[in-house]
Chain A
């Protein structure tokens, strides 16, 4: 979902660059509370994994169209919303500066859609669903799938907003056409994102449940009868 140069005009791109920079600085401030000796290397791995999976464009059921993981929901699940947004942002910066993917001038727009909007939408849903769904592998899988799917659709509509503000082609008032096309394509891409996210999160939870941020941070709505564990502050 990387915007190429020339698609959005310079002033709007600059505004979003300033917005993204401020938001990322805020994420660093909030994320530092989560970043300890255990989370820091895990966050590095999450970023590297997202980079790898973003290379794997999968076909969707519309002929000639592909999609790839954005990673916001995956990152939010595994390392939390603040550090998660930073993980996706690092991937986007590496892609723009080293791999020529997504214009450098468009970086603020791309970070806003994929790193900020996508991760925020995902984490809001994760926080809601993990509290109401049972703490089982299937509850976790549903949480991951739904939050990932919705996050992709939200990120896609972020682009529609940006195009409305500064798109370089006059759509003749047909912005809803673009919004509809984007929504439909990204609903299908979101299914792929959901499957990848659910598979990855359930796998990590099976191997090392203590490494899933969302399971540590979010308590169920109706707490199970608490078994006192010495020193179990979390």
Chain B
């Protein structure tokens, strides 16, 4: 891949790290739309724990990996919630980037850019980029 993609990639990764590492601490801790729909029929307390009634959510079972070191977006052993959530988010972003980026890189198509491309052997993907930029603009 071309060198001129690196600034964009690094910038995007930095934004993701900031969101997962810092902003995540300000996320709502209420149940999401699905979980709350399954709580219909039950009464819950201020911590959103079921206190009575009957609802589909009562059938929920523990997660297979509830003891994983990063379970529930926290790092086990770190007492400070802010640091624990933020660090788990940073690790998650890096892990997701490495896993998916690695898999996509291994699965990528090699060889000429497109079968239908004009028969100029030197028309690599990066040169096609440059040709597409001025004409493919949104404005």
Contacts and interface: CB of A to CB of B under 8 A. Distances in A.
B12 A49 contact: yes
A131 B7 CA distance: 31
B9 A45 contact: yes
A41 B34 contact: no
Interface in B120-139: 120, 123, 125-129, 131-139
A23 interface: no
A167 B68 contact: no
A169 interface: yes
Given A42-B9, A181-B40, A99 B56 contact: no
Nearest to B129: A210
A95 B91 CA distance: 12
A1 B55 CA distance: 17
A210 B131 CA distance: 10
B32 A232 contact: no
B30 A4 contact: no
Contacts of A4: 35, 60-61, 63
B108 A32 contact: yes
B28 to A, nearest CB: 4
Contacts of A42: 5, 9
Contacts of A57: 27-30, 32
B29 to A, nearest CB: 7
B3 to A, nearest CB: 12
Given A35-B107, A90-B100, A231-B127, A55 B32 contact: no
Contacts of B87: none
A34 B114 CA distance: 9
Interface SS, B side: helix
B64 to A, nearest CB: 5
Contacts of A116: none
Nearest to B106: A40
A55 B93 CA distance: 10
A99 B29 CA distance: 16
Interface in A166-214: 167-169, 171, 177-178, 181-182, 185-186, 188-189, 205-212
Contact of B20 (A5, A31, A44, A52): A52
A55 B36 CA distance: 17
A179 B63 CA distance: 25
Contacts of B57: 7
A18 interface: no
A156 B111 CA distance: 40
B82 to A, nearest CB: 13
A36 B12 contact: no
A168 B63 CA distance: 16
B128 A234 contact: yes
Nearest to A202: B138
Given A41-B101, A43-B101, A100-B70, 10 more contacts: A5-B63, A44-B98, A52-B89, A55-B27, A65-B32, A100-B65, A101-B72, A105-B64, A230-B131, A231-B123
Interface of A: 1-7, 28, 31-45, 47-53, 55-60, 62, 64-68, 83, 86-87, 90-91, 94-101, 103-105, 135-137, 139-140, 156, 159, 163, 167-169, 171, 177-178, 181-182, 185-186, 188-189, 205-212, 215-216, 227, 229-234
In order of increasing CB-CB distance, the 9 nearest A-B pairs are A44-B101, A6-B61, A185-B33, A100-B71, A48-B97, A66-B28, A52-B20, A47-B100, A169-B56
9 contacts: A2-B32, A7-B60, A40-B101, A44-B101, A44-B105, A45-B101, A57-B30, A65-B31, A103-B61
